[in-house]
Amino acid sequence: MDELEGGIRRVTLPLPTRPGHVHAYLLPGDDGWTLVDTGIGTPDAKETWAAELDQAGGRVATVFVTHFHPDHVGAAADLHELTGARVVQGALDYAQCELVWGNPAWSERLVDWFQLHGAPDGVTAELVGQSSVYRPFIRYQRDPILVEAGEHVDGWELIAAPGHADGQLCLLRDGVLVAADHLLGRITPTVGLWPASRADPLGDYLGALDRTIGLAPRIALPGHGEPIEDPVLRAQELQEHHRVRLEEAVAALTAEPQTGYELSFALFGADLPASGRRFAIAETLSHFERLVQEDAARRQEVDGAVTYTAA
Ligand SMILES: [Zn+2]
């Protein structure tokens, strides 16, 4: 556990896949800690957390989940059982959490979706199999308290940060942004199009970065990696990164229709394991959907296949 400015504590939990760790934060408040994010719900999660909370001292007033990805939501039920604290999650994010993790038919939906975007049959099975890796370790809390951006939780303002996840919420107080995976220091947060996600996640993300620049937080505490000392500069860098990627995406288009699967090779290369290809396809699609919105690409859907061509 690390002590940060303003009495904030940082707990770093291991992850079996890249980036190898996730941070949770304990924010001090009048009624106890506000615990932001939970790590994955491994069999020893409760034990790990009991030791960490013992070290921190005091009670947990609230468990706040920024978004439904495994490393952030996975141990929410464990923490509720351990502490008795209320669990708070964004309303849209919880709806997507249930849709993905509470739904046995989700894998079939992913199969259809990868096929719609051109993945060959053999590849699709491998891509979908990858998504089940974390499933046993997702112990999200049913029926949490649902909140919206603009509301306050334990004195922190909730800031909408769509893009990496549609319903992701950050927390802001006194210039400190608890940023989850909205801003990361050395890696670029993934921004993908997934089944049942909003239509233009990259557009959402670029807009959310604009709002971050407007809010001008003094420091950002990310879900992975070290605190970001200049969040405005980092937001600008991420916008620039995606502008460059959008230009590369335009350059990959021709008059010949290409699927998201095919185009993912142009943007991310051929040399990716199934786990990487999954994200490459989703990221490729978020870029081409943004280009469609900007009239820089065209989308066609013919005979159960979505393709893109130059505008
Ligand atoms: Zn994360």
Nearest to 75 by CA among 56, 247, 197, 83: 83
Distance 222 CA to ligand 1 centre (A): 9
Q: pLDDT per residue over 156-190, tens digit each?
A: 999 999 999 999 999 999 999 999 999 999 999 99
Distance 299 CA to ligand 1 centre (A): 31
pLDDT computed for residue 61 by the predictor: 98
Mean pLDDT of 33-53: 97
Structure tokens at 240: 């620039």
Separation CA 4–CA 216 (nearest Å): 20
Q: Please, which pLDDT band fits residue 251 given cuts at 50, 70 and 90?
A: very high
Non-local (6+) Cβ contacts of 273 within 8 A are none
Q: Please, which pLDDT band fits residue 274 given cuts at 50, 70 and 90?
A: confident
Judge whether residue 220 has pLDDT over 90: yes
Distance 57 CA to ligand 1 centre (A): 26
Q: 299 has which bridge partners?
A: 308
85 vs 132, higher pLDDT: 85
Judge whether residue 42 has pLDDT over 80: yes
Separation CA 155–CA 141 (nearest Å): 23
Q: Please, which pLDDT band fits residue 135 given cuts at 50, 70 and 90?
A: confident
pLDDT computed for residue 13 by the predictor: 96
Mean model confidence pLDDT for the chain:
96
Q: Please, which pLDDT band fits residue 125 given cuts at 50, 70 and 90?
A: confident
Distance 310 CA to ligand 1 centre (A): 34
Distance 303 CA to ligand 1 centre (A): 36
Distance 250 CA to ligand 1 centre (A): 29
Q: What is the pTM of this model?
A: 0.96
Distance 164 CA to ligand 1 centre (A): 9
Of 16-30, 59-73, 130-144, 271-285, the poorest mean pLDDT is in 130-144
Judge whether residue 132 has pLDDT over 80: no
Distance 224 CA to ligand 1 centre (A): 7
Judge whether residue 122 has pLDDT over 90: no
Distance 52 CA to ligand 1 centre (A): 20
Cβ atoms 225, 184 nearer than 8 A:
yes
User: How crowded is residue 108: how many other Cβ atoms within 10 Å of its Cβ?
Assistant: 11
